[in-house]
Structure 1
């Protein structure tokens, strides 16, 4: 399959920046290890220029009506839909996810832009009745200014839409930095931004590594930083932003519990558990990497999932028959296999997989077998640490209280799943789970209208849903004294 590679130059103030041969990063495909492209390793000076461009553009962009911003966002959504196959193929080649997954994500990205287009002209404030009759008080919602948007490699199109759509709808200008591991669809978006008609400087796209990241997260001119990625990097960004008092939105890791109760419909729960961990090769922050199963159904559930896992078709993610492609890089492959080795050392029982596929017909990419461990101690490293790969940890429980206790026993709190036919139980358990998202009788279901985000080490702030707009707006209060009275200048008026 031929992939049309995009212009990989950065976009700053409406212009593409020529690559410097001494500051480049190679981009390779995890499918076969082939060289795809070269991108810029931005310098601190280039990051400064990008923020300056966004800051300059903000003075005019903030005055553009919500209706006009909505038109531009809807136009961008139309262009993404038009080019969805090309974008999906590019992302699959870049990060190894199934083409049918990235195709869905391209359409979902467009849906997000349309959703926030609908909100762009509805950023209402409030009129507030105070105790005094002759005082008028109201609030207004104002954009925070320049937003820095940093995305991860596992779902670049979707993750960027989660951030860019509400930021633009709110009236912010942005500087985007995709992961250097999978930057190509974000760089391709630069062309669509221009075609949609956004003014120059409103959207800037930079690429790079550590130097670029530090420059982006330590500039006091930035109004908000939104980051999706690992916990250590998120912590570093939060520490850096504390120095300039810039607010941060963090969508970090997860160790989500997918709980199957004894009354669950197993015909739905088993595929749901498979989708939770083996879809996208387990490379999602919401992966249901911990499967908690009631004692009475544990044997049959484990047997069925193991049978599915052994027969998963691994291969080129662009092929229709493939069910699981490679992980995103050789470095990630080694990290996953190291975690498998640790799990064996800790006494977990390896039921399926645990290594590289035996299929010699596979290209020399970053492939890992679907892997299942049983008898996993809830306190073990496998149950506590994020693997970010196709590795499932199965733990049994005996009652509802124990299931909730185990589910809440990690430092993460991003997502969770409940499988039950008991409506009362579903509500009880959902209330007790410490997680930003709780799915009942489904898993990995996303909606533009539904807020998403975590608690504990999974981060803070929300993306998607109307709550996401608040990340890019600040509330201003205006109080007007309507009286003609002269006040006592030495006492507060209240």
Structure 2
């Protein structure tokens, strides 16, 4: 039997169950295109039982002191640490991530649980804060209380990470959870169920259901749930929002991006190369915040593009287990087909391909890191989220032009700025419409940060105290003085 096979892949009320869904997930290693596991799926009846288990567990869990919930969160962090070698290898096999990237993901998940443990410890001290009402005839108190059992749907590009960003604040707030991992990368998230059993998490606090769209549909329709938090594509997010709207449920949506990186003429060239390449080639460009549009000042355009092409020529693209690997494969065959379709569009449009623009020979979902120069803003290469290692560039001559180019997008998730003038960089940051902006640094997201975007990039914020607040309702108590 394959050691990765998980027939008992549904976790309900503190126990593993055989998935009773009709489908079986065939988990693929994207570097070899071989099946590495078969995972049973959850039936609609099991989804409803998972939601009911979360509902039963909600009152006792939310009634625990914040310090008690914090201990469980720290236990999750230590559980991830104890499994580090296996989880890193699993990420490399199931997602195609190079070892360094898989290690970064795991460290991010661990840090997230520890951070929300800190917030949970402080939570009770902030309750019943007094408010001033009118002329003093009444007094008010404010409480922040868990909103109830919640459904969490996470994507395939960052297993462990996006789930930690949702599970940790939800449990810290006092919510109970039903988690649906991606059908393409379900294996890493199943470790959360193993850890829950290991640490003695009360039954029903965390439940895990596996499967594709039909399981997500059952989850968004499960009546005991009081909120849905979704990370993924805009197309799927709109369906989640519609399903939640039918019952008036609150939703949090972290959706797509087509982020810009602006490089001014006084920027440090080496730093610019580092920020541009990391921003588009990390995780093979399968990052919602990938800075896939380079907006570079005309005075340094040729020099920067030449340096970028040189960096790309020196990159090693191959198996995550190779001794040197700068970029692994795309994670799914569907994503490979999507990126290849954009390569075809670029050829049809006559885009100036500086480097790349093709699938690599051999097995595996590998594509060449790609740069298109001076792309027309009307082209899909410039305006649509490709979700692959594909960079489109344009030049600018004034800051007003750079801002206009950066903001000419239906998305507003993130942006980067590389500039030798900190004041100028901050002026640009104030005017760019994006939820998270990096200045003179490659992309790094801390648990204390806010994460989320403007425009079509979603609704709400994750991480930081804002992530905790998203799983809480505000209760105001007014009484006679």
Above 0.5 in TM-score?
A: yes
Q: Say whether residues 1:241 and 2:240 are aligned partners.
A: no
Corresponding residue for residue 429 of structure 1? 428
Per-residue deviation, 1:101: 0.5
| CA gap 1:445/1:238 in 2 versus in 1, 3 angstroms | same
Which residue in the other structure is 1:157 paired with? Answer: 160
Q: Does 1:317 align with 2:320?
A: yes
Change over 3 Å in CA distance of 1:194–1:309 after alignment to 2: same
* Helix, strand or coil at the partner of 1:275: helix
Aligned residue for 1:28, secondary structure, equals strand
Residue in 2 that maps onto 1:229: 232
Task: Kindly state the Cα deviation for residue 21 of structure 1 after the two structures are TM-superposed.
Answer: 8.0
Which residue matches 2:417? 418
Q: Is 2:51 aligned against 1:51?
A: yes
Match of 1:264 in 2: 267
Comparing 45-54 with 302-311, which one deviates more in the overlay?
A: 302-311
Aligned counterpart in structure 1 of residue 222 of structure 2, from 211, 219, 223: 219
Residue aligned with 1:64, SS: coil
* 3-state SS of paired residue (1:122): helix
Take 1:31 and 1:207, find their aligned partners in 2: how far apart are those partners? 23
Alignment of 1:210-359 (within 5 A): 210-358=213-361
Unaligned runs of at least 5 residues, structure 2: none
2:62 aligned residue: 62
> Within 1, Cα distance between the matches of 2:329 and 2:289?
18
1:19–1:51 Cα change, 3 Å: closer
Instruction: Give the deviation of 1:116 after TM superposition.
Output: 0.3
Contact 1:77 1:113 in 2 (8 A): yes
Name which of structure 1's ranges 379-388 and 312-321 shifts more when overlaid on structure 2: 312-321
Q: Secondary structure at the match of 2:134?
A: coil
Q: Which structure 1 residue ranges, 5 or more long, are not aligned? A: 483-494
Q: Contact (CA 8 Å) 1:4, 1:90: kept in 2 or not?
A: no
Q: 1:22 to 1:129 in 2, by over 3 A?
A: closer
* 1:230-256 residue CA offsets vs partner (Å, 9 max, x unmatched): 010011111111111111111111100
Aligned residues: 476
Return the alpha-carbon distance in structure 2 between the equivalents of residues 43 and 302 of structure 1: 51
- Which residue pairs with 1:384 in the alignment? 383
Q: Counterpart in 1 of 2:404?
A: 405
The aligned counterpart of 1:488 is: none
Q: Which moved more, 1:277-286 or 1:122-131?
A: 122-131
In structure 2, the CA distance between the partners of 1:248 and 1:328, relative to structure 1 (3 Å rule), is same
Moved more, 30-39 or 405-414: 30-39
Distance in 1 between the 2:3 and 2:115 partners? 29
Q: How far apart are 1:311 and its partner, in Å?
A: 2.3
SS in 2 for 1:208: coil
Aligned to 1:24: 24
Q: Tell me how far apart the structure 2 counterparts of residues 142 and 166 of structure 1 sit (CA, whole Å).
A: 13
SS at match of 1:468: helix
Q: How far did 1:332 drift?
A: 0.8
Q: Deviations over 1:103-132 (max 9, x none)?
A: 111011111000000111333242101124
For residues 181-204 of structure 1, give each alpha carbon's deviation from its aligned partner in whole angstroms, at most 9, with x where no partner exists.
001000122111211221111000
SS of equivalent to 2:140: strand
How much does 1:221 deviate? 2.3
Separation in structure 2 between the aligned mates of residue 110 and residue 265 of structure 1, nearest angstrom:
33
CA shift at 1:320, angstroms? 3.4
Task: Tell me: CA distance 1:20–1:47, structure 2 relative to 1, closer, same or farther (3 Å).
Answer: closer
- CA positional deviation for 1:349: 0.7
Q: 1:81 to 1:128 in 2, by over 3 A?
A: same
Shift of 1:136: 2.0
When structure 1 is superposed on structure 2, of 21-30 and 335-344 the one drifting more is: 21-30
- The residue number in structure 1 matching 2:85 is 85
- Provide the C-alpha distance between the structure 2 equivalents of 1:152 and 1:350, rounded to a whole number of angstroms: 30
Alignment check: 8 A CA contact 2:6 2:37 kept: no
CA–CA separation in structure 2 for the residues paired with 1:302 and 1:142 = 52
Distance (Å, rounded) in 1 between the aligned partners of 2:411 and 2:210:
29
Deviations 1:244-277 (A, max 9, x none): 1111111111100011100101111111100011
Which shifted more, 236-245 or 342-351? 342-351
2:149 is aligned with 1:146: yes
Cα distance in structure 2, aligned partners of 1:406 and 1:340: 23
The aligned residue for residue 458 of structure 1 is 457
SS at match of 1:110: helix
- Does the 8 A contact of 1:278 with 1:370 survive in 2? yes
**8 Å contact from structure 1 (residues 408, 433) kept in 2:** yes
| C-alpha displacement of 1:4 | 5.6
